Structure 1
Amino acid sequence: MRTTPTLLVLAAGMATRYGSLKQLDSFGPHGETIIDYSVHDALKAGFGKIVFVIRESIREEFEGAMRHQFPTLDNLFYVTQELDHLPAGYQVPENRIKPWGTGHAVWVASSHIQGPFAVINGDDFYGYRSFGLVVDFLRHSTSETEYGLIGFKLENTLSEHGAVSRGLCQLDEEGYLEAVTEQTHIIKTGDGIEAQNPDQEPLQLTGQELVSMNLMVFKPSVFPLFEQGLKEFLEENSTNPNAEFYLPAVVDHAVKTGRAQVKVLETPEKWFGVTYPDDKAVVMRNLQRLVHEGTYPQNLRETHSANSI
């Protein structure tokens, strides 16, 4: 790894099921957001620049929150994701209101990233060891078309309060990704765990399956794949106002067409995050436990104000 990696934080989501701007909601003992902990972990692991993908409508509030939490950092950058941010020659369909999705979010950030980078969701907690796996992978990876995916055990990523979307990973014998399938309705049942898909029989799962939580590791060679994928998506879905261009779909296509290899790196961390309002109390308890155990300082802002991690 010749340069320190960039962290790309996807924070433009609408949070329709949560009911408020969860990217900036308070969860830590001193009002910390989940993003605050992710930035802290990434910097500690060895990341350099942090790039946030946000909406223009929340830009002032978001930038203010980051300046307050990390007053000494000068490596925070912001890019907006809007419906009309499209490749040349493409227009927004008249009936389109829904954001284009996580794949589009990565594409709009391409001009802000010059080296290796990792992508995360702004409302997901990944844990320090997950970011350490990213840095270690990049330190040893030599191919410009070898990417990485931090895999979580499915049982460590479920919500007690409703269904979740997860990308199920299929691996070869050497631990490289063969396919990632987006399951949009995984839920705990009385009999275990099921993926309940429309027009299909329920898929029984053990909980030991590795899933993608959008913590993926890329090099700049990936951006043409996102641009090509976005163009194909726009052409195929011009009349579908609800279709989304998902990040895992780009990775899956790149693997199946032989344009990239993706090493799956299993993290020991337990994910938590906020999909539903009732998830907030769970996140707060988990963070308080980690602070009590000494994993995190009592006050992140004081730590970064002192310019030490």
Structure 2
Amino acid sequence: MKPTLVIMAAGMASRYGSMKQIQQFGPGGETIMDYSIYDAIKAGFGKVVFIIRKDFAEDFKSIFEPKLKGKIETDYVYQEMTAYLDGHTAPAERTKPWGTSHAILCAQGIVNEPFAVINADDFYGRDAFQKAHNFLVNGCDNKTFALVGYELSNTLSENGSVSRGVCEVDDNDNLVQINERLKVYRDNGAIVFEESDGIKHPISDRSKASMNFWCFAPSIFPFLEKEFKAFLDKNISNIKAEFLIPLSASDFVKKEGGVIKVIPTAAKWFGVTYKEDAPVVKENLNQLVTEGVYPQKLW
């Protein structure tokens, strides 16, 4: 059975205002997501599952169904605020979704094979999809998952500091935990992260960053369901609390004795952290087209 690509896109509507306005970056009007799907097809993935908001479903499908028809199987998951609340009631003032781990949990029953999870608006590069596919086919089991780790230097913005999850690994390149660094940037050539008090700490150029490219077996679903119940018991009244993948992954290692391999990639990540990044994304994609990595029009 071919692995599935799961794309978390439930937050896109709030950022872009309407799914009709998904930003086009490629020379043929492609979104960043189009390149991820194209790379996944090339790598051997058999299906793409979009996690979206139900109220934008028709707009979303009208954009992606025509161009993907006959190229890869598609399915849809709706991240609803009420899903898996297990008797809890969300506060009336909460508008923010429950987070990325909850988004994945919503795919339970739809995704029944090894799968990769990515963000909708990040460019990950072909090498990452090839390595993820290889792991999902040959290395993934109920207790062994993976994270594609990017060279930290390949994930920075020229337009300001960024937040990054920096991977702490053991001697076997297995994930120990992800350390969230909220203000990472280059300072006189060196990579540093800055604390709230302004103190700077160096980070090795060789450090691996998580850009939310995960590889899981379906066994992750019952674990997330159990963990989400515990999260709600503790955080139901906190309207800003989020149930996020990095913490769930860390808990999977600590509580379940699981292993999360950190798969290194030299691919260059890029995305739009600042509006000034948009021209850089277009420039990078045009360069890849010029080099023959991608055709002028993907579909």
TM-score by length of 2: 0.92
Could you tell me which of 119, 131, 135 is aligned with 1:137? 135
Which residue, out of 155, 158, 169, partners 1:160?
158
Aligned partner (choices 7, 10, 13) of residue 8 of structure 2? 10
Measure the CA separation in 1 of the matches of 2:177 and 2:184: 18
Q: Structure 1's 57 and 184: CA in aligned 2 closer, same or farther, altered over 3 A?
A: farther
Q: Deviations over 1:269-295 (max 9, x none)?
A: 000011221111111000000011010
Moved more, 271-280 or 90-99: 90-99
Cα-Cα RMSD: 2.1
Q: Aligned pair count? A: 298
Equivalent of 1:232 in 230, 233, 236: 230
Alpha-carbon distance in 1 for matches of 2:103, 2:159: 27
CA distance in 2: counterparts of 1:124 and 1:79, whole angstroms: 20
Q: What residue is the counterpart of 1:182 in the other structure?
A: 180
> Is there any run of 5+ residues in structure 2 with no aligned partner, and where?
none
The answer to whether the 8 Å contact 1:24/1:65 transfers is no
Given that 1:167 and 1:183 are in contact with CA atoms closer than 8 Å, whether structure 2 keeps it comes out as yes
Residue 259 of structure 1 corresponds to which residue in structure 2?
257
The amino acid that maps onto 1:95 is E
Question: Could you tell me how far apart the structure 2 residues matched to 1:142 and 1:83 are?
Answer: 30
Aligned mates of 1:241, 1:197 — CA distance in 2 = 25
Aligned twin of 2:100: 102
Unpaired runs of at least 5, structure 1: 302-309
Alignment of structure 1 residues 1-309 onto 2, 5 Å:
3-14=1-12, 24-73=22-71, 75-141=73-139, 143-190=141-188, 192-198=190-196, 201-301=199-299
1: CA distance, partners of 2:216 / 2:278: 31
Inter-partner Cα distance in structure 2 for 1:188 and 1:21: 34
Give the residue type in structure 2 aligned to 1:260. G
Deviation at 1:152, TM superposition (A): 0.1
* Partner Cα distance (1:256, 1:199) in 2: 31
CA contact under 8 A between 1:182 and 1:248: conserved in structure 2?
no
Counterpart contact for 1:168–1:181, Cα < 8 Å: yes
In the aligned structure 2, how far is the partner of 1:220 from the partner of 1:118?
A: 11
Aligned residue for 1:305? none
Deviations 1:234-286 (A, max 9, x none): 22222321121111110011112243101111011000011221111111000
